[in-house]
Chains A and B, each alone.
Chain A
Amino acid sequence: MMLARVADSLYWLGRYIERAEHLSRLSSVMLNATLDQTDSGVQAVWIALSAVGEPDVSSAVGSFEAAEALALDRSDPNSVVSSLARARENARQVRDQITTETWERLNLLYLKVTDENARRDFAEGSTTFLQDIIADLHLFKGAADTTMSHGESWRFMMLGMYLERAQLVSRLLEVCFAETPGRQINDHIALVSLLRMACALEPYLRVYTAEIEPRHILEFLVFDEDFPRSIRFATSQIEANLSVLARRSASEGAGPERIAGRLKARLQFADINELENQGAGALLTSVVNECARIHEAIYETFVAYPLEMRLPA
């Protein structure tokens, strides 16, 4: 049993944490890729900015300015600092639900990115700054994992995290592999950057060796059963958390767990040949849409349900 508002905050806490980590990684990979003056670097910038929905990727801003904005622009709701501020605001709302260890990790990070010296620190060592954020977020997740009870509050947080992850990875892959003419990425260095943006380079190499091919990348990031950032993995986590939560809920009708179950099954029984025949774009778009439907269903079931249904007779 937990307050509906609290479940909502924990869910968003999970989403914003995941978003902050993803944005930090895109920003960091983008900066690294442009250290060498090559066309691949330009492609990496294009992938990163397209994946965060930057409307005009051809604009003249340098990669440093773009990375700085992605990290520290407080006026942009889709920056690392904004995501962390929102994550912390949600954590503050549920301060009685999360452990001190978890809260302090997040608060420390928030204080770091909102510090008046943050811009200077970023300018002096952008990569270190971004890697530290990622490492601190790993500490947050580790603290949460090892100190919080893995009950309802935990599951709402995980739900938010994996939903956000499924959507972010789908969008990243859509940018690179949707069937828009002239957009297919084949360049080796750009593909390595893509794997890095998905935090997937090393696990990929262990499965496919250094033969970096778009087909394999798609297969790995969509279908791999064990890799925590594959869409299939994220979807099965969403389904697993929802089915536990649904068992406790008094709701009837098509709950979010059914939508998640269908999506999970679809990814479980499809393979790369099917994906290539039908076109990657269609599948990736439908993952994004199904995630949005799950999100709405979560609200209808757990948070904003009509009271008349639940009042005592």
Chain B
Amino acid sequence: MAAKTQDLEAPALPLNEAAYLPGVAYDEMFAPGGAVRPHYDPLHARMSTLGGAELAGRQQTLERSFLLQGITFTVYGGGETTTERIIPTDLFPRIIPAQEWAKIEAGLTQRLLALNLFLADIYGEQQILMDGVVPRELVLGAPSYRREMQHIFVPHKAYANVCGSDLIRCQDGQFAVLEDNLRVPSGVSYMLANRDAAKRTFPGTYRAAGVRPVERYPDLLLATLKSMSPEWRPNPQVVVLTPGVYNSAYYEHAYLARLMGVPLVEGRDLVVHDNMVYMRTTTGIRRVDVIYRRVDDDYIDPLTFRRNSSLGAAGLFNAYRAGNVVICNAPGTGVADDKAVYAYVPEIIRYYLGEDAILPNIETYLCREPAQLSFVLANLDKLVVKAVGASGGYGMLVGPHASQKERDDFALAIKADPENYIAQPTIQLSTAPCLVDGRIEPRHVDLRPFILSGEKTIVTPGALTRVALKRGSLVVNSSQGGGSKDTWVLAEDHHANGLGGARP
């Protein structure tokens, strides 16, 4: 059917199950029998009517628009070879039915609530450690644990004001949490930019599908940040703190500051005097109340943390301690997204909320436990091993894809420092259709929704879907060549049927 409308020279767009060749993984668009899942019907119909040339043209327009907007990261090659590239962005949205999203939303809200209670506890009375639910040394010995945060009052117990959890859809179609990101999660600007692009690329399909909007994120973020400041500071001055223009997420920092209408500051713009934080303006200095920092804990205050850092402001932490400024996310939140603490999150939820986790964890082996360590060492060819302290796809062994030598080397590293490693079974992330070299092919994807937490907890009805662009690859991190695509959360599921003829 699809072939009739294509240019003769355009590459065939294999949109039937046989040619699309999904692997063993769950596919977002096709059910195992080859039928299109109902919520994908309108998009599938639209994809079939556009020829390869048309799709390639739209893809090009999309990339051009990202380049023009400066949504880029810099590739340094020295001298004139320094170039800027966009993060590869795929044309086709990924669609999530309303009912599935309701579960994700409930699960993430529950999880962040429990993690914030956990943070309040371990930086307060430490009841959970005394009750032996989470090993004391695991928490207090973690490099991301900040004893300086002990007994500091955090409004609404909202330590992680912005959270970006990574979810994956397993082979059985169920979503599971792969990782919590509570420090300075990024990617929300790509979610918003991808949405802009998708609306331009498939306007009719978008309208007909009934997609929930994500555009309110900046004003909800501002409200969340403001809700963290004490009541006696009416109309608080909020700023975004960035490491500067050379940071790979600088675009996002500037974007959020611009859309919230608040200053984008660097450490050198801030001055701390008498435990108050000020910024240096053209008309003198001006008090700052809330800092949405996009700088890691280690760098926010050279007096308290890393001494040689110039990215933060000297004395900032004392001003925070004195209650004169709010830092979001609170320092020390990283201890709750530690890869080893992750294994205990279901227990943490049960401990504080008396409920079972709505979204399951991935089975995780802690190498610090001798029995689990020997299991991991014996099964390196089947497991993914991760260093607890590393992120972004670094310090990681994907057992089934590694050589014997790589596995042997990794085994030595694990034995030398077992506390630093965890292992998980290799999960087949679900696949979604992507435009690759003029063809539509399945690629593995994950899902990063964004959760705001202040006075209220809000899950933005949308997400960044990250894509592993290499065929068969399971690594979606942008630092490892991953891309992204828009994610459509449907308002109501019954919309999905019967709109196969939608046209832009």
Q: Which of B142-150, B199-207, B228-236, B258-266 contacts A (4 or more CB under 8 A)?
A: B258-266
Q: B281: which A residues are within 8 A, CB to CB?
A: 1-4
Quick one: which of B245, B284, B286 contacts A89, CB cutoff 8 A? Answer: B245
A292 located at the interface, meaning its Cβ lies under 8 Å from any Cβ of chain B in the complex: no
Given contacts A5-B268, A92-B70, A92-B245, A311 and B282 within 8 Å (CB-CB): no
Assess the B282–A74 pair: CB atoms within 8 A. no
- Chain B 347-384 per-residue mask, 1 if CB under 8 angstroms from chain A, else 0: 00000000000000000000000000000000000000
How many residues belonging to B are interface residues under a CB distance threshold of 8 Å?
30
Known contacts A3-B281, A89-B245, A250-B284; is-contact A307 B67 (Cβ 8 Å): no
Q: Which of A2, A89, A249 contacts B263 (CB 8 A)?
A: A2
Subset of 27 A-B contacts with CB under 8 Å: A1-B281, A2-B263, A2-B281, A3-B263, A3-B265, A4-B282, A5-B269, A5-B280, A89-B245, A92-B245, A92-B254, A95-B251, A95-B255, A96-B254, A96-B255, A96-B263, A104-B68, A107-B70, A111-B67, A248-B283, A249-B282, A250-B283, A250-B284, A307-B280, A310-B285, A311-B285, A312-B274
Starting from the known contacts A92-B254, A96-B254, A245-B282, 7 additional A-B residue pairs (CB-CB under 8 Å) come to A1-B281, A1-B282, A95-B70, A95-B255, A95-B258, A107-B70, A152-B282
Residue B279 lies at the interface, judged by CB distance under 8 Å to chain A:
yes
Asked if A302 meets B257 with Cβ closer than 8 Å, knowing A92-B70, A93-B245, the reply is no
A134 CB-CB contact with B under 8 Å: no
Complex interface bits, B257-300 against A, C-beta within 8 A gives 1, otherwise 0 = 11000011110110101100011111111100000000000000
Whole-angstrom CA separation of A89 from B271 in the bound complex: 25
Check: A108 CB closer than 8 A to any chain B CB. Answer: yes
Q: Chain A residues near B268 (CB, 8 Å)?
A: 5
Chain A contact residues, majority secondary structure: helix
With a 10 A CB-CB cut-off, give which of A95, A152, A303, A311 has the most chain B CB atoms: A95
Is A100 in the interface zone, CB < 8 Å from B? yes
Q: Does A195 have its Cβ within 8 Å of any Cβ on chain B?
A: no
User: Contact between A4 and B280 (Cβ–Cβ < 8 Å)?
Assistant: yes
Q: How far is the CB of A4 from chain B (nearest CB, A)?
A: 5
Q: How many chain A residues touch B (Cβ–Cβ < 8 Å)? A: 31
Instruction: Report the minimal beta-carbon distance from A249 to chain B, rounded to whole angstroms.
Output: 5
B residues less than 8 Å from A248 (CB atoms): 282-283
Interface of B is mostly: mixed
Complex formed: what's the CA distance from A302 to B254 in Å? 23
Interface residues of chain B, those whose CB is within 8 Å of chain A, are 67-70, 80, 245, 250-251, 254-255, 257-258, 263-266, 268-269, 271, 273-274, 278-286
Q: Which residues of B contact A245 (CB under 8 A)?
A: 282
Interface contact B283-A96, CB-CB below 8 Å: no
Known contacts A245-B282, A307-B285, A100 near B269 by CB under 8 Å: no
CA distance A89 to B245 in the complex (A): 8
Q: Report the Cα distance A74→B69, complex, angstroms.
A: 23
A172 at the interface (CB under 8 A from B): no
Q: How far is the CA of A5 from the CA of B273 in the complex (A)?
A: 19
Q: Which residues of B contact A156 (CB under 8 A)?
A: 282
Q: Using Cβ atoms and an 8 Å threshold, which residues of chain B touch A74? A: 80
In the complex formed, the residue of B with least CB distance to A88 is: B70
Q: Are A6 and B263 in contact (CB under 8 A)?
A: yes
